Copies of this chain bind each other. A is one copy, B any other.
Amino acid sequence: MCTAISDNSGRHLFGRTLDLEYSLSEQAVITPRGFELNFLREPPLTRHLAIIGIAHVFGGIPLYYDAANEAGLAAAGLNFGGSAVYSEPSSSTHNIASFELIPWVLGQCKSVGEAAELLKGTSIIADSVDASLPATPLHWLIADRTGAIAVEPIADGLKIREDPFGVLTNEPPLDYHLTNVKNYTSLNATPPKNTLCPDVKLEPYSRGMGAIGLPGDLSSSSRFVRAIFAKSHTLPEPEQNAAINRFFRIMDTVSVPRGCIITDEGKAVSTVYVSCADTETATYYFSTYGNRSIHSLRLSDANLDSSEIFAETI
């Protein structure tokens, strides 16, 4: 349960909500160029692009939920529980576990094009960060200021495709959402015209009626459509602070007040955090469910040639 957005209306901003029924002490984490990135089945990257993002630090290793690198490439992993199918390791490809994908890509790639190329030669395998647990089922939105791709490991293989909306939520695979959104093409921010019954005068009774039909629930398909509507109709803000604020306002429309989703097990889901990376300055902005103020961390706040991660609780 998450929504990721890549927005190019002004500066490139990339971020996401994390919607869960629990929290894992997320931190804003900088991985400098000299921190050795280890992989279960690949040689380590001893020197790589610096990365900033939100992660759960486990055994000293940042497990990134979403991040950006110093070259302006960003990525977010989102729950994909019904469709994710991981591969068997293959001798003809790189073999990367789902929890390793973000450092694998952001450590090496400077653009969406490079990421797509790297992933074409990569198998995503079912290894888990903790051998006693199954691998987290994920799909990813990867974007830079030129565009976005969705990366989805499904039964048919690893699908890498352009995401023209720069939006990703959860199940089903992107193909469904790209069709489903066509059910909402006539929504608008302006007042509706009367084509129902032109013979009778029908005036709107309220502002905002041009978007009647926009779904308001918190399912993945409704958040997908709502994110597109909000991203497409919220006016660009040239000023930097206003642009960041705009991004969080868009995210508010897909966020989960605690309890508005109850899981099968009776647990209350909420939007644990919202993040927003300005990929040009490698600055990470974030707020949490309990603290709606926006805080930030800048990649340049850390010594990028260090070999130690820098982490602060959000």
CA distance A195 to B107 in the complex (A): 39
Q: What 1/0 flags go to A240-276 for Cβ under 8 Å of B?
A: 0110011011101101111111111000110000000
Residue of B nearest to A202 (CB): B185
A23 to B: closest C-beta gap in Å: 14
Chain B residues closer than 8 Å to A202, beta-carbon distance: 181-182, 185
* Cβ–Cβ contact B206 & A219, under 8 A: yes
In the complex, chain A residues 287-313 whose Cβ is within 8 Å of any chain B Cβ: 287, 289-294
A222 to B: closest C-beta gap in Å: 7
What residues make up the interface of A, taking CB atoms closer than 8 Å to B? 1, 82, 164-165, 170-172, 176, 179-200, 202-222, 225-226, 228-235, 237, 241-242, 245-246, 248-250, 252-253, 255-264, 268-269, 287, 289-294
CA distance A217 to B268 in the complex (A): 25
Residue of B nearest to A199 (CB): B232
Chain B residues closer than 8 Å to A184, beta-carbon distance: 196, 212
- Contact A186:B214 (CB < 8 A) given known A292-B245, A292-B248: no
* Cβ–Cβ contact A292 & B292, under 8 A: yes
Chain B residues closer than 8 Å to A82, beta-carbon distance: 205
A194 to B: closest C-beta gap in Å: 4
Chain A interface main SS type: loop
A121 to B: closest C-beta gap in Å: 23
* Cβ–Cβ contact A196 & B210, under 8 A: no
CA distance A180 to B194 in the complex (A): 14
* Cβ–Cβ contact B232 & A189, under 8 A: no
Copies in the assembly, this chain:
4
- Contact A205:B172 (CB < 8 A) given known A212-B222, A217-B213, A228-B196: yes
User: Could you write out 28 A-B pairs with CB less than 8 Å apart?
Assistant: A1-B206, A165-B197, A171-B206, A176-B176, A181-B197, A183-B221, A184-B212, A185-B192, A186-B210, A187-B196, A189-B260, A197-B231, A198-B232, A199-B232, A207-B219, A207-B220, A207-B269, A208-B219, A210-B262, A212-B217, A215-B215, A216-B226, A234-B260, A237-B258, A246-B258, A249-B292, A252-B255, A292-B294
- Contact A259:B189 (CB < 8 A) given known A292-B245, A294-B292: yes
Chain B residues closer than 8 Å to A237, beta-carbon distance: 258
Residue of B nearest to A1 (CB): B207
CA distance A250 to B261 in the complex (A): 13
